[in-house]
Amino acid sequence: MSDQIKTIGVLTSGGDAPGMNAAIRAVVRIAISKGLKVKGIQRGYSGLLNEEIIDMDAKSVADIIQRGGTILYTARCEEMRTPEGQQKAADICKKHGIEGLVVIGGDGSFQGAQKLAHLGINTIGVPGTIDLDIACTDYTIGFDTAVNTAMEAIDKIRDTSTSHERCSVIEVMGRSAGYIALWCGIANGAEDILLPERWNGDEDSLIAHIKDTKARGKKHHIVINAEGIGHSQELAVKIEKETGMETRATILGHLQRGGSPTCKDRVYASLMGAYAVDLLCQGKSNRVVAYSHGEYVDYEIDEALAMKKDIDEYQFDVSKHLAR
Ligand code: ADP
Ligand code: F6P
């Protein structure tokens, strides 16, 4: 048992992601196994500021590992961006005896965690977002489930697209990042993949490619468009007008964020949750758990937030050669 920390808190913040429950379960059960008390903070920083704090025991995380979403609920909270809100959040942690806090969320949530660390609360971030857009880590909780969900949905759209000999523009989530689009583009054998990191706005070349595949006898043309580019409906109208190929736009939307987590998301999230508690027990603070080059590691939050991430060039290059 740690000499320093007796009670820790755990919260989920930002967009929910499948696997967050596995991480919460691991935080609670590993902490209990080390003799710590655990408080669950509901609704992210918003719930912290409203003192929506509950005691958690091993039973309170029973029967959740297979469930999507987050049992602690999640929220976005403007007040936490202000120095007053951050000081209030730190004071509330102290009032409830919360000496260490595990924040499961994305880059925005880590900024909140960083502020709390500077105000004397030991904080550890765990990367939870379907977008895979956290620079310090090759894995984020929820991405694997989200791409599998999107892939299955796109397979279904492809069936009907082929039957009608149509073009389909399918928009996937990712905020300003194109990882979901790139993975689905490869996994679904899309003819075109539009990524915010690489898209140069050249719709004429896209249309020429669609005309070319049609001339070569292709029975459908799947365009995976990333949310960060958007305008899928307008793009579909333009494609239909200029290629003569009937075109439909589908925005997959929030279905990508739900559902039972994959095995990978359950296992990686469990290990990251456990790792976060280990760091707190070692007296660490202001760190984020990451998965890098096949290993679980941790970085200073400041260092993690300063890192930049880009689409893997080789992966992107291969995707273009596969998409014909
Ligand atoms: P994500 O964590 O998925 O990136 P957001 O960017 O929406 O999601 O951030 C989640 C929450 O983290 C915000 O609603 C806010 O409460 C908190 N947050 C974001 N940026 C900051 C910041 N600069 N300082 C303090 N808290 C922040
Ligand atoms: O960050 C996860 C995410 O699903 C993004 O892919 C998307 O841009 C955003 O959240 C949607 O947020 P909301 O649920 O508030 O519509």
pLDDT for 135-168, tens place per residue? 999 999 999 999 999 999 999 999 999 999 999 9
The predicted structure's pLDDT at residue 4: 78
SS3 168: strand
Which 8-state DSSP code applies to residue 141? B
Which listed residue (16, 107, 131, 265) is catalytic?
131
- Among candidates 202, 148, 204, 192, which has minimal Cα distance to 167? 192
Ligand 1: which residue has its CA nearest to atom 8? 14
Q: What is the mean pLDDT of residues 105-122?
A: 98
Q: How far is CA 141 from CA 90, 290, 295, in A?
A: 26, 10, 15
> Which phi and psi (to 5°) does residue 10 adopt?
-140, 140
Give the CA angle between residues 279, 133, 170 to the nearest 5°.
145
pTM, two decimal places: 0.97
Would the CB of 107 count as within 6 Å of ligand 2?
A: no
The predicted structure's pLDDT at residue 1: 43
Quick: pLDDT tens for 43-78.
999 999 999 999 999 999 999 999 999 999 999 999
Q: What is the mean pLDDT of residues 223-228?
A: 98
Would the CB of 118 count as within 6 Å of ligand 1?
A: no
- H helices of the chain, in order, are 20-33, 44-49, 83-95, 107-118, 143-163, 179-187, 203-215, 232-243, 263-281, 301-306, 313-322
Encoding tokens for residue 223? 């365009």
Question: How far is Cα 50 from Cα 55, in angstroms, rounded to an integer?
Answer: 15
Tell whether domain 145-253 is in CATH 3.40.50.460: yes
Mean pLDDT score of the chain: 97
Sequence spans of domains, the chain: 7-142+261-306, 145-253
The predicted structure's pLDDT at residue 118: 98
The predicted structure's pLDDT at residue 157: 98
Q: How far is the CA of 2 from the centre of ligand 2 (A)?
A: 37
Neighbours of 182 (CB within 10 A): 27
pLDDT at 260 over 60: yes
304, 134 Cβ separation under 8 angstroms: yes
The atom number, within ligand 2, closest to the CA of 133 reads 1
pLDDT at 3 over 90: no
pLDDT at 122 over 60: yes
Q: How far is the CA of 303 from the centre of ligand 1 (A)?
A: 17
H/E stretch holding 23? helix 20-33
Judge whether 7-142+261-306 and 145-253 match in fold: yes
Q: What is the mean pLDDT of residues 1-5?
A: 64
Q: How far is the CA of 96 from the centre of ligand 2 (A)?
A: 31
Would the CB of 130 count as within 6 Å of ligand 2?
A: yes
Tell whether domain 7-142+261-306 is in CATH 3.40.47.10: no
